[in-house]
Structure 1
């Protein structure tokens, strides 16, 4: 846009911002920058545009928030109580599901055996299925160990539901115990590692085969 006048540049800027605004409002899911860029004019700086739009909505009833590498409009945190009045009461997750979700979030990628080791009790497949149905966890790959067990990690939907931009925003161990998300049965020397939310598999993982989806059973020799 170097050849444009100031008025023309301002007009293009406002048009791009309106396009982004419309796309984000219309979407039921957070959108990544690359998918948004395809709707803008040539030479548009999507990063600057998103930050500009975020700034404009910073003091409004809805805010533009980042969830991992995606963006979405969400109700301002200080007004969330207004919407909770109309929310349907949902059955809360069981303690087993909450503990399992917390362990996966902090230890991912984690196998079922690793989850059970931290919890100190067996983890039923139904608990993992419930969390996958909610869209909060996913099967990542297979550990390069005997039996090649499936590993689990969190999803972007997990970040969005709990209002996190990245996994580094997760609370500390004491906060988790205080909120009841981790059981007092956990070992006293348990350390919370730095969560890993990268898209790539870790070095000790293999990609999933198509037949792996829907099953976390270990492969037999």
Structure 2
């Protein structure tokens, strides 16, 4: 089929536009201290740009490098390649190790969310201190989701995007299942025949039995002082 005059320049223009879009999203993600949403990127690109396809291309470009482009929920961020973590010194910024109780509570919230404090205690078989939850919230890994539509309207808890980011997960469904936990030696001894590892919920949206957290709720929980000022 003969080439119509003007076809080649159009193709070249499309190629330049695509390359420029890649440079833009690369710069935006690189300049951000937090993972960047595809919606944020789309606002800064020409209309009808396929941001998802663009990010997958950029992710493939960075795959063999020392820095990788990773997806965290529906956000994107640059992170050191996992196999090079040994070379990154963090002596001056050592993260405090979590207690066994905090690890247990974090695991229950991750796999069972949305979950209330009473439900966490039912799984663990022991009482959960407010201090344990405070540690997980200060780390930025756990958040208040909403309030359950049951007597007493207990607060529901869930994990955050920072939790996914810290543990290198794209989404909650990437949490290890039973066979992976066995392989890692985290499930040992005699496992009850009816034991199963729950499949985590993959959405941040409230369930039908949850109401959103209001300012009054935050005041009751001690997160805001009366009048709406954040607690010091």
Task: Report the Cα distance in structure 1 between the residues aligned to 2:98 and 2:217, rounded to whole angstroms.
Answer: 26
Q: Deviations over 1:18-59 (max 9, x none)?
A: 111111111111111010111112332111111111111111
| Pairing 1:70–2:75 present | yes
Task: Report the Cα distance in structure 2 between the residues aligned to 1:18 and 1:35, rounded to whole angstroms.
Answer: 15
Residue in structure 1 matched with residue 35 of structure 2 by the alignment = 30
Structure 2 unaligned spans of 5+? 1-6, 223-232
Which stretch shows the higher mean deviation, 105-114 or 188-197?
Answer: 188-197
Residue in structure 1 matched with residue 4 of structure 2 by the alignment = none
SS in 2 for 1:5: helix
| Number of residue-to-residue matches in the alignment | 215
Of structures 1 and 2, the one with the larger relative CO (CA 8 A, separation 6+) is 1
Q: CA deviation at 1:189?
A: 4.4
| Pairing 1:11–2:19 present | no
Q: CA deviation at 1:172?
A: 2.5
TM-score (norm 2): 0.83
Residues 80-99 of structure 1 mapped to structure 2, 5 A cutoff: 80-84=85-89, 86=91, 88-99=93-104
CA RMSD of aligned residues (A): 2.7
TM-score (norm 1): 0.87
Residue in structure 2 matched with residue 51 of structure 1 by the alignment = 56
Structure 1 unaligned spans of 5+? none
Q: Do the aligned partners of 1:61 and 1:79 also contact (CA within 8 Å) in 2? A: yes
Q: 2:172 aligns with which of 162, 167, 172?
A: 167
